[in-house]
Amino acid sequence: PGGKKLEPLKYARVAVEASVSRRKAECCILGTTSLLYHCLEKGVSVAFVLRDVGVLLIEGSKVQMRFYPDFLEKVIGDRIQDSATLKALQKLDMVVSQEVPIASLSFTGRVIIFPK
């Protein structure tokens, strides 16, 4: 739809970037996408921990991204020193500490965490 061309994933390039064999890269990617598919199909909550960025949480039809403060500071280009700004971001549920247990972010407290 929309005239966009789908391109196959280049497993060899992923393998080089991850310093693993092509076979291992392909197995990891296929295993992860298969597990994600089954979790979403069964309505199991999942969380993707994106190193140095934040957590993408998927619960049912709700998708929420929460960012680590350090990442937001890099994007903003300055430290978040204004406590009012930080409190506003926290009220919007946009900020999460790296020390917070991922399961505590979900409604049920049960979540499958990627990557493991």
pLDDT digit of tens for each residue in the chain (116 aa)?
A: 577 888 888 999 999 999 999 999 999 999 989 988 998 899 888 988 888 888 999 988 889 898 888 888 777 766 666 666 666 666 667 788 888 888 888 877 777 877 65
Q: What is the pLDDT, as a whole number, of residue 2? A: 74
Whether the Cβ atoms of residue 28 and residue 15 lie closer than 8 Å to each other: no
Whether the Cβ atoms of residue 40 and residue 31 lie closer than 8 Å to each other: no
This prediction's pTM: 0.70
Q: What is the pLDDT, as a whole number, of residue 90? A: 67
Whether the Cβ atoms of residue 109 and residue 44 lie closer than 8 Å to each other: no
Which helix (DSSP H) or strand (DSSP E) does residue 50 occupy?
strand 46-50
| Tokens matching residue 59 | 């619960």
Q: What is the pLDDT, as a whole number, of residue 85? A: 66
Q: What is the pLDDT, as a whole number, of residue 16? A: 95
Q: How far apart are CA 32 and CA 114, in angstroms?
A: 8
Q: What is the pLDDT, as a whole number, of residue 15? A: 94
Q: How far apart are CA 99 and CA 96, in angstroms?
A: 8
Whether the Cβ atoms of residue 89 and residue 72 lie closer than 8 Å to each other: yes
